Amino acid sequence: MLTGGCLCGEIRYETTGEPFHLTNCHCSMCRRASGAPMVSWFSVPRTQLRWQRGTPQAYRSSAYATRGFCPSCGTQLTFASDRDPSEIDITTCSLDDPELLPPEDHTRVSSRLSWIKLDDGLPQHLEARPESS
């Protein structure tokens, strides 16, 4: 089981789902939503995410996706795409122990900031990873 929450502690979650799609996303929307040069995410089946305390506020960030964040401190917690209603992405660094889920690749590197140098040896995808990954 993985546990995490927001900065102020108003929202806490747990997931028993097997994490997949561990990535560093470099898209401009993730950058703006987080105020950071990239955001680390992991995915789980939506049915395996449980809110233990509080409820994230939803923000429709595009025609097909909703981001969940703490209404008190603003911590970005989730990304849910209408294109795949069976899974949800969770910000890796909202975990109590983010060391448990290091990224396995970089996605949307076509939007990567020029001053971010990637030399970690992880696969880099110009946009989304191929469907078979």
Assess whether pLDDT exceeds 60 at residue 132.
Answer: no
Query: What kind of architecture, by CATH, is found in domain 2-22+39-99?
Result: Beta Complex (2.170)
Our measurement of the distance from residue 78's CA atom to the centroid of its chain's CA atoms, rounded to an integer in Å, reads 6
109: closest CA among 89, 129, 132, 79?
A: 129
Tell me: pLDDT of 85 over 70. yes
Q: Which long-range contacts (CB under 8 A, 24 or more apart) does 122-130 make?
A: 122/24, 129/21, 129/23, 129/105
Model confidence at 30: pLDDT above 90: yes
Helices (H), 68-107: none
The two three-digit tokens of residue 35, written as one number: 């105020």
pTM of the model: 0.95
The residues spanned by each domain of the chain are: 2-22+39-99
